Structure 1
């Protein structure tokens, strides 16, 4: 199996991992503490492997193509946050709990920095520009997420974010990020750097499968109880996927982007960075367990949605030559 094939069908790997985790947690509930102890270091390794795929030292490349960079920034950090705010307000009107609304906000406010590149490649998108824009997406989401939550979250949501509670989650994100930056700088000219990066590119899918297995096994009762959120959040995530593609189409037309760049833009807007926000969701205090369930559900809905995108985006939204300019 090729890496592209693995990434294209990864949703089935995660569903199997969740089923196995629920089975283990139900049959051996005493294993819960051990599984939870393994969760945080596994998350850290996953994030390190993910950040190693982001050209952290090449932020300037994203700004060379100003039209494409503008489309990415406007879409991911202006239009889609406003859409997320509207969707969360809609959930509030439907009676969704603060934990559910927070999960939706967390995961919809952060654009993807990894597997959208794979889907861009599969759809005939502009892979070099996809790779160039990833550090810009990562830096902006880390800087803007606290401001978005402060603006869009209600009082109950903000109270849940105590620095002492979230400090471990912050370390799980910052330490792998710093480690990846140091590793990229250290091995920048090493003859085996590309081979190491290629080997690490195989690891996010199996590592995320281990993470969701550990979550399901360690918090089996929470997962079962959290199934009631599916009718609330799945339609929201489907609406987001459809709207993101249409926003990409509008921005590409406005900025006169070629078809290949439009496809890449669609996958950038349609995919979210659940890896980065999952530690924060897991670190929330008791009573907020549904937040992590929402984040996991979004990633599964997104991956199924990408199967539709791979047909819809190149054949209906951005028809034309896949050549880049």
Structure 2
């Protein structure tokens, strides 16, 4: 099957050097921001507006090539789609809140950050791991529009019900942050892509423009992360001394997601390709899209941001390990076979 252009690069069957280096780049940005904050002695707080401008650019670049079509193709695989949606948007939030309560109840900022990191499913690079694990890539691709729609719709509710119990949130601030740093960038990015395709053509849009956007996404994120910490009031070393606790919690979170998704697949007798696809569709998270919300809704709580940014550092090695685990289980376990797998490829004219 020929995959649509927006996802073909993502599902290339291997991790790019940029993807592998990203966790370490983010760590460097945190350290740089912390150092600048100490040198400036908290005197840069008036430059917080730079963070908001940069965050809009980051989320715009993330949303630039998210497709919102293809929902019908996912619903042809009804059972797998229903299980993935239930797991992602019911079981995962409950599991994340409970895990945070067990480990981080004495650290509300860290607890809120971990929950926020875990609330949004990935909208792109999980396809790489589905491909590497020989999963159902076509169905994984068809789940993209469902995931992006549901996380936009449900995120305000989750923030209010789950994180609002940990750190008080003003409803108007919450609505404003979701609108400015999720809905507006998504609408703007989609409009720009459509208009640019009509003006300059598909080759330019998915060639030079897409390459430029990928550069913007990484380096705008680096600038934003550095600025978030540099523009806080004076930070102390103790503020980031709980990194090991965050890493342990998020590692347990990923192990739990893998166990939940694999168990659901086995109990409901999904075949290996669908089970592998669901494991990574459920396990991978979308940390960048919630940084803007965290920066506005939880201003003055830098540890919320720390917890969100530590997530990708743990996520990459865990997803690589899960890929190897799934390939091992592919041959060691007996999997149901699907006599007539639904055709999820686009209809051919």
**Range of TM-score over shorter length:** 0.7 to 0.9
Match of 2:305 in 1: 292
Q: Secondary structure of 1:160's match? A: coil
Does 2:195 align with 1:186? Answer: yes
Aligned residue among 107, 112, 119 for 1:96? 107
Q: Secondary structure of 2:202's match? A: coil
Does 2:150 align with 1:140? Answer: yes
For residues 191-202 of structure 1, the aligned pairs below 5 Å read 191-192=202-203, 193-195=205-207, 196-197=209-210, 199-201=212-214
Shift, 1:231, TM fit: 4.1
Superposed CA RMSD:
3.1
User: Is this contact kept in 2: 1:263–1:318, CA < 8 A?
Assistant: no
Q: Can you give the 5+ residue segments of structure 2 that lack an aligned partner in the other structure? A: 1-13, 342-349
User: Is this contact kept in 1: 2:37–2:235, CA < 8 A?
Assistant: no
Does 2:122 align with 1:109? Answer: no
Does 2:228 align with 1:219? Answer: no
Shift, 1:245, TM fit: 0.9
Match of 1:59 in 2: 71
User: Is this contact kept in 1: 2:50–2:227, CA < 8 A?
Assistant: yes
TM-score where L is the length of structure 2: 0.78
- Quote the Cα distance in structure 1 between the aligned partners of 2:73 and 2:214: 21
Shift, 1:55, TM fit: 0.7
Match of 1:243 in 2: 256
Q: In 2 relative to 1, CA 160–7 (structure 1 residues): closer, same or farther, beyond 3 Å? A: same
- Quote the Cα distance in structure 1 between the aligned partners of 2:196 and 2:263: 40
User: Is this contact kept in 1: 2:127–2:137, CA < 8 A?
Assistant: yes
TM-score where L is the length of structure 1: 0.83
Shift, 1:36, TM fit: 3.3
Report which of the two has the higher share of helix.
Answer: 1
- Quote the Cα distance in structure 2 between the aligned partners of 1:152 and 1:318: 40
Q: In 2 relative to 1, CA 180–218 (structure 1 residues): closer, same or farther, beyond 3 Å? A: same
Q: In 2 relative to 1, CA 290–18 (structure 1 residues): closer, same or farther, beyond 3 Å? A: closer
